[in-house]
Amino acid sequence: MFGCFRRIGCLFVVCVVAVAAYFMRDRWLPLIPGMGSAPKATAATGPAWEPVSDEGAARARRAIESLGRRNGPVFVNLSPGDLASHFYIALSEQLPPSADSIEAATMGSRLYVRAVISLDDFKAADALGPLAGIVGRRERLQMGGTFVVLRPGLAQFLVEDVRLGELPIPRGAIPKVLQQVRRGTRPPGVAENGLPFVVPTYLSDARVADAKVTLYKDVPK
């Protein structure tokens, strides 16, 4: 019987190691002769990540302010980097203090934001269970989701996909991760997997498609 338990325990360890090796294959595959070219080909077809910048923030601010003018447009298109730059203060308040190298991109109908963080700032790694020990002390935290305007002046970034380094966080564990990221109280109406953002009162909707984010203003009926 004890031999059976030992075999089951070994099988569990093997499964954990196999899963970890799969998700971290980008780190060890290049070390194998003849296997180093595959990751480069994959990276070349990935999304175009745009860094947060002062120039991007200024472009986004001008575009958003144009929505508030009486004779302004009813919608504006922003690049992911420009939008992330504009909401940099809000983003920095929703990320650990050590976050740097903040970038943004679109994938399908989702906006993705990623930053390099120190795991000493919060306990998001706990959500990984037995895999938590294989992540480094500084890892890239990546969050993907959609924008939802809850009411005039308040929106949320509804997080639907989280990765810590190369490891995907289980969907059911995302609220637990965001509890470690989110600061302050959660405003009424904000989902457990939502990060709140203050927005202009005339902003009514936001949609992601074709590598851009479209913001719509509230048009009186």
Distance set, CA 160 to CA 18, 110, 177 (Å): 25, 9, 12
- Look at 45 and 197; give whichever has higher pLDDT: 197
Helix (H) or strand (E) holding 43: helix 37-44
pLDDT of 190 reads 93
pLDDT of 186 reads 85
Band the pLDDT of 93: cuts 50, 70, 90: low
Coil, strand or helix at 211: coil
Sign of the torsion angle spanned by Cα atoms 84, 86, 92, 98: positive
The Cα–Cα gap between 156 and 34 comes to: 45
Q: In this model, does residue 33 exceed pLDDT 60?
A: no
With a CB cutoff of 8 Å and minimum separation 6, the contacts of 3 are: none
Q: In this model, does residue 11 exceed pLDDT 70?
A: no
The Cα–Cα gap between 203 and 60 comes to: 13
Q: In sequence order, what E strands does the chain have?
A: 50-51, 75-78, 100-107, 110-118, 138-151, 154-164, 167-168, 194-198, 203-209, 212-217
Q: How far is CA 44 from the centre of its chain?
A: 20
Backbone angle region of 210, left / alpha / beta, with phi > 0 → left and psi within -120 to 50 → alpha: left
DSSP letter, residue 169: P
Question: How many Å is the Cα radius of gyration of the chain?
Answer: 20
Band the pLDDT of 87: cuts 50, 70, 90: confident
The mean predicted confidence, pLDDT, of the chain is 75
The Cα–Cα gap between 3 and 8 comes to: 9
With a CB cutoff of 8 Å and minimum separation 6, the contacts of 29 are: 35, 36, 38, 39
Least confident range from 30-39, 69-78, 91-100, 173-182: namely 30-39
Q: How far is CA 35 from the centre of its chain?
A: 29
Band the pLDDT of 5: cuts 50, 70, 90: very low
Of 39, 41, 50, give the one whose Cα is nearest residue 107: 50
